Each structure stands twice: as C-alpha cells, then as structure tokens.
Structure 1
C-alpha cells in the first residue's frame, strides 16, 4: 500500500515542515475539510483555498493521523492519547496538544 501524499511545505520525508521541524514533529493530519494530509494547520492555511474544519468527535475513530517515520496511520482517538507511535515508537511532540482545537472538535468539560 502506498503512503498518502502529504501536502504543504515539508522539509524532509518524515513530514516535518517549515513551521514545525523538531525531532518529534513527525505527524501529518488528514484534514476533515479536504481529505488531504498536511503537517500542520499553518501548512493547510498556506496551501488550501478554504478554511480548515475540525474533525467531529463522532468521527474520531477515523485513521486521520500519519506517522512520518513509519507511515502508519492512527485513529484520532489513538493519537490523542499517545506520546509515541504505537507501531515504530517514534516520539510525538507533546506540544501539539495545545493546537488540538485547530484539528479536532474539543468537547466541553
């Protein structure tokens, strides 16, 4: 199976981009609005011709997260509770949690 194409200004083959490129910035998110993988919300804003839409909570079982290291996909639910890829153990950037509302509808507490 071929890995999905990642759109946006990537700087390497592990999905790091011009906006976020630390060792742990190795995920791309399939955006709900256009069904395309981008490394970050800024890449989507720069390249897409539409506003981003967040994944509804009811669809968090969708495999919308791509690990840039091993090219495995994860469900949104799985990604939101992970600190590393469950397939290859590549660490994920914990700081991404601060941007969750840009990608996923965040339920009220």
Structure 2
C-alpha cells in the first residue's frame, strides 16, 4: 500500500519508485485501464500485470488514473496531462520524461 492505494510491481519505496524508474522525480503510479490496478510503470505491468495491457481511451480522460507518490492525490488522466509535471495538490515535481511514454498508458 502506498498512500492508501495498492500499487503492484517492483516498487522500491513509498513514493512509487520502482526497479525500472527510481530517480528522485519518479514518483507517480499509473492505474492501468485494462486491470484498474496501479503500477509504477509499463515495465512493472508487463512483469506482474494482467497480460493484456490497454490504454485509457480519450473519452475516459476524466477518470482518476494517476497517483502522486508525494501526497497520494489521485489525478484524472487529463489533470495529469495538463499538470506540467507537478502535482496540483502538493506541488511535488514529477519526471517530465514520463511524457515520452504516455502512449503506453493513454490514447494519443
């Protein structure tokens, strides 16, 4: 459990860093659309997930799907895409490089 949410995968700490992404600013988990389960990254889901990864469709971007590892705030997909790599609740910085991987999680 991280900030009250079950986060699966190779989690290393209580801010959602994992064996694959563990820099100071790597502090989000993504709820995978296919299994509605939080994982720190797509690699964690590949290793320990449901086996049928599906991305969030655009028409569901208003649903909570991103967990801030800093404070536990859940962001909708749209809030996350618009947040400029900073939690709107606690202002903790997220890794801006994650935007390079958004196609693993969200319809583009």
C-alpha contact 2:18 2:40 (8 A) present in aligned 1: yes
Q: Which residue of 1 aligns with 2:41?
A: 40
Q: Deviations over 1:9-61 (max 9, x none)?
A: 11101000000011111000000000100000000000024121000000000
How many Å separate the matches in 1 of 2:15 and 2:78?
22
Q: In the alignment, what sits opposite 1:87?
A: 89
Aligned-partner Cα distance in 1 for 2:44–2:50: 12
Q: CA 1:77–1:49 in 2, change beyond 3 Å: closer, same or farther?
A: closer
* TM superposition score normalised by structure 1: 0.93
Q: Distance in 2 between matches of 1:31 and 1:48?
A: 9
Unaligned runs of 5+ in 1: none
> CA separation in 1, counterparts of 2:28 and 2:96?
12
Distance, in Å, in 2 between the alignment partners of 1:49 and 1:26 is 22
Q: How many aligned positions are there? A: 105
Give RMSD over aligned pairs: 1.0
Query: What residue is the counterpart of 1:104 in the other structure?
Result: 106
* Unaligned 5+ runs, structure 2: none
**Corresponding residue SS for 2:29:** strand
Give, in whole Å, the separation in 1 of the partners of 2:93 and 2:103. Answer: 21
Q: For 1:96 and 1:51, how far apart are their aligned partners in 2?
A: 21
For normalisation by structure 2, the TM-score amounts to 0.94
